[in-house]
Structure formats: structure tokens, C-alpha cells
Structure 1
Amino acid sequence: MLTPRHGAILKLLEGKGPLSVTTLADMLDVSTETMRRDVRALAGAGAVVRVHGAVGLAGQMGEAPFHRRMRENAGPKQAIARAMAVQIADGDSLMLDTGTTTSFLARELLGHRRLTVVTNSSDIARTLATVNGNRVFMAGGELRGDSGASLGASALEFIRAFAVQHAIISAGAVDASGVMDFDLQEAEFARAVLACGARRMVVTDASKFGRRGFIRVTGFEGLDEIFTDAPPPEDVAAALSLAGVRVHLASSDHNGQ
């Protein structure tokens, strides 16, 4: 059963976004230990998520395990992947970070031939290796059990040896300040991917717009294009336009705007 204070916590998080336990305790004039008990109860009920010392509503922060995220917004992600895939020609080189939308893109690229693919995603590597004359280079490093991603210093060092035509990253969150993530190593890897490409792109479904991330990946000045399934909010659209980023909306004709 939610207590009145639990309701007050949820209302604060809804209005202000993720907050620390200490900040919540101060705002509601209770001890940090009392607040920790409240947060544990709310987290146990699935109402809040705790990540990196902050507390937020379940939809505001953190990310579900990879296999669950592959099912979430699958239709829009597939449409985005199809729109992106037609931008890539046989024989092109590309670099992909780990993410559900980039995994959908890998599946849409199964009709392409002789691609050179650099990735830290075991899912993407398995999808595209040994088919149609592709060459796939898999970054080494610590393998994450939830996402099958290879991360860390050795993965970063590996990909920096490549220069590709298309650098494509997914996004954990996008607001008017740019692209963000919830994980430091994933953010570092995505940033490194963008530095390796002549054409720097983000693929993200519209549910990521307006979300708050903890770690900045890049401002929009570090991008050339973004592929999504719905027009961004006005503030995000204005920031993208100011930075000269081309927005592609997934549709039957795949035209950008």
C-alpha cells in the first residue's frame, strides 16, 4: 500500500525528474534513513528505479534488460532500421554500438553484401558475420551479460583504429542539450564511435525524446543526422535545426526533413 509520503515522492519525481535520496529527504523533511526505507518499498513495487545514486520513476531512467527492450516499441524501431538501411550501399563500411535499434538495423542489413562492420555488440556481430561476403570486426573487452556488449578500455582502443563511412549509435535519452546515456562505459563507447565515422548518425525511437540521461554522449553539433519515427518536441527540433542535423522520419518513402 502506498502511504501519503510515497505519493509525495512519486509526485516530486514526476515533476523534477531523478533526485538523490538526500535531496528527497530534505524536500520532505524526513531523515535519509526513512527516505531509504521509502525508496526500497517503492523500488520493490516497481514504481521507482535506483541508478548511480539517484532515484527516478521507472520510465525516466535506467534501461530494462536487452531482450525485454528488443520487444519494446519494436514496430517503430523496425521502421527506423528500414529507413536507415536504405542509406547504406553494398560494400560500405559502418560502425555500430550496442542497442536495440542498432540490432534491428543489423537485421535489416541482411540483404546487403560485402559490408565491413565494426561493433561491440555480440548480437550484431552474430547477425552479420559469415553472410553475403561481409567482414565483421568485434571489439574486445569485458562482455556485459545483459546486453552482450563488449566495453572498457580495450574496446575503445580497438575501434579507434578504424575509419568508416557510417558511424551509427543508439540513444538512451535525447533532449535539447543532445544525446545522453545511463551508463558511463556505453556513453564513452558511443562517443568514440562517432569520432570514427565520416557520417555521424543516431537511430532512436521517439520515446527517448525528453528523457533525462546521466551521462552526456554528444551535443547535436557532433552529429550529422538522426533517424526516428516521429517529429521531435519543439525544443529538441529547434536545437537540431540550429546544429544543422538532418532529421529522417521513418515512413514509406524514407524521406528526410
Structure 2
Amino acid sequence: MIILNQRQQELLSWVQRDGHVTVEKLAAHFGVTYQTIRRDISLLAGEKLLHRMHGGASVLSSVENVAYNERQVLFSTEKQRIAKLVAEHIPNHASLFINLGTTTEEVAKALHNHRGLHVITNNLNVAAMMCDYPDCEVIVASGVMRPRDRGIIGEATIEFIRKFKVDYAIIGISSIENDGTLRDFDLREVRTSEAIIQQSRNVFLVADHSKFGRPALVELGHLSKITALFTDRPVSDEMAEVIAEAKTELFVAD
């Protein structure tokens, strides 16, 4: 696992957004030499975060997500800022769904001072963390555990989730397309998230800036299903219009 500097994180975000970018464009944008950009690309390719190609870099895959341990450190500061903002919008004594993802795990950390929470989760990392919080009840969904991130998915998970109706869902996503379509990589995970959305009175979507325009395989739905979107950077005018048309509130973390 590596810690990426700001330039490398922005480079990766650019590749994920556009699918391909040249060394020439990257060097001009960051004001560094071609050699520096090539070293960055080689480093990111070695960590299997993107694909190195002649003259530039391209997105790794639209069918497979970045490894969980790498996602834990990617844009970690941004995710913490998002999580802090989300926690400010969750009252004490609320009932919550928290699904899979490194950003939702940061939200779970940010809720450590809340009282009287009732949390239902298919994320064992979240469950292990929040079970030690004072006056917090944690209910773990049944189903099949996915070893790479300790997520619980499958038909049993969906059936379990449908037994509850909660105040807030905290969900993550891998991709927000330009038209507001939400996408992820695993069909079973998407179906679980669909059930969580259906069984929640308010749905909070947490997504750092790298998720906008990123390719991913499986459609989850549209931003119109989301009560509020929490991100770390101002969105483009075009995306702001899509969000407004979806009647989704937008919150940008400082």
C-alpha cells in the first residue's frame, strides 16, 4: 500500500474521469517534466490503479474496482471531510443503514460521538467499529461475506434488509455519470444497495470528486433516488444542473 501525493491523486482522478490522458497534457497541466509524469504513471500502474500505455495512461477497467486496501488510502483526507459533514446532518437517536465502501466507513468513524444510534450494516468493518460506541446498537445483515472488504452480500442480505425501515441510509458509489446515473462494479452489491435505498426515508450518497464520470459496469439507479449528495469539491455547472433537476440536495465539504 502506498500514499499518493496530491499530483498523483489528481492524475488518477483525471484518468478515471476521461478514460485516457496523454503524458503531454499531464505535464503541461501540472507544470512538471515528462519524466516526472512517466514516473507517476509507472508507480500507479505498478499498484494496479491505472493502465500504462504508449504516450499516456488509461483507466484500468470498467468491470473491476480498485483493490480495497488501495481505496482506503486514496483521497483519504477528502473522504474524512465528507464524513464529518455527513455526521453533522445525522441526529442522535437515529436509525441508519450503512453499506459497503471506504467513504461510508469514514462516516461510521465520524459518528463516534453520537448517542442512541441504531445501525444496520452489511459492512463488517463498520460493525466492528461501531459496536464499541457508547449507546449504539449494531445489527449485522446476514448473507455471504466478500473476503476482500468484509462486505456481506447476496439474496439473504437483501431479504434481511427488507425487514427494516430506517431514518437514514449512508451509501457509497463507484461512479456518477454525467446524466446522474449511478453505477458500481458488483451486481450483488448493487442489488443490496437498491434494497437499502428502498427501505430508507432519507438517502445520503457520499462520493469524492474522483467518482464523477468514472466508468463502472452495473447501473444502480439515478440521482433522483438520492435525498442528498455529499462530496468534497464543487461540481461542474452541468452536473449542478443535473443534481438540481433530480431534486437532490448538494453539500460540498470545506
The answer to whether the Cα contact below 8 Å between 2:180 and 2:222 also exists between their aligned partners in 1 is yes
Greater C-alpha radius of gyration: 1
1:231 aligns with 2:234: yes
1:246 aligns with 2:246: no
Residue among 218, 221, 225 paired with 1:218: 221
5+ residue gaps, structure 1: 1-11, 16-42, 50-55, 252-257
- 1:13–1:87 CA distance, 2 compared to 1 (3 A): closer
Aligned runs of 1:73-112 on 2, under 5 Å?
73-112=75-114
1:137 aligns with 2:144: no
Farther-moved stretch of structure 1 (176-185 vs 111-120) = 176-185
* Cα separation, 2, equivalents of 1:85 and 1:163: 20
Aligned to 2:200: 197
The answer to whether the Cα contact below 8 Å between 1:168 and 1:193 also exists between their aligned partners in 2 is no
Aligned to 1:161: 163
* Cα separation, 2, equivalents of 1:132 and 1:104: 18
Deviation at 1:220, TM superposition (A): 1.5
Identity of aligned residues (%): 28
Aligned to 1:62: 64
Aligned to 1:182: 185
Deviation at 1:59, TM superposition (A): 7.1
* Cα separation, 1, equivalents of 2:80 and 2:204: 16
- 1:44–1:168 CA distance, 2 compared to 1 (3 A): closer
Return the structure number with greater relative CO, CA threshold 8 A, min gap 6: 2
TM-score of the pair, normalised by structure 1: 0.75
* Cα separation, 2, equivalents of 1:200 and 1:244: 12
Aligned to 1:28: none
Does the residue aligned with 1:110 lie in a helix, a strand or coil?
coil
* Cα separation, 2, equivalents of 1:239 and 1:213: 19
Deviation at 1:45, TM superposition (A): 9.7
**Count, aligned residues:** 207
Structure 2 letter corresponding to 1:83: L
Structure 2 letter corresponding to 1:58: L
Does the residue aligned with 2:233 lie in a helix, a strand or coil?
coil
5+ residue gaps, structure 2: 1-17, 22-44, 53-57
* Cα separation, 2, equivalents of 1:240 and 1:147: 30
CA root-mean-square deviation = 2.2
Does the residue aligned with 2:133 lie in a helix, a strand or coil?
coil
The answer to whether the Cα contact below 8 Å between 1:178 and 1:218 also exists between their aligned partners in 2 is yes
* Cα separation, 1, equivalents of 2:61 and 2:234: 20
What whole-Å deviation, never above 9, does each CA across 1:90-113 have from its counterpart, x for those lacking one?
111110111000000000011111
Deviation at 1:48, TM superposition (A): 3.7
Aligned to 2:128: 126
Deviation at 1:185, TM superposition (A): 1.0
- 1:151–1:241 CA distance, 2 compared to 1 (3 A): same
TM-score of the pair, normalised by structure 2: 0.76
* Cα separation, 2, equivalents of 1:59 and 1:246: 30
* Cα separation, 1, equivalents of 2:94 and 2:86: 13
Does the residue aligned with 1:106 lie in a helix, a strand or coil?
helix
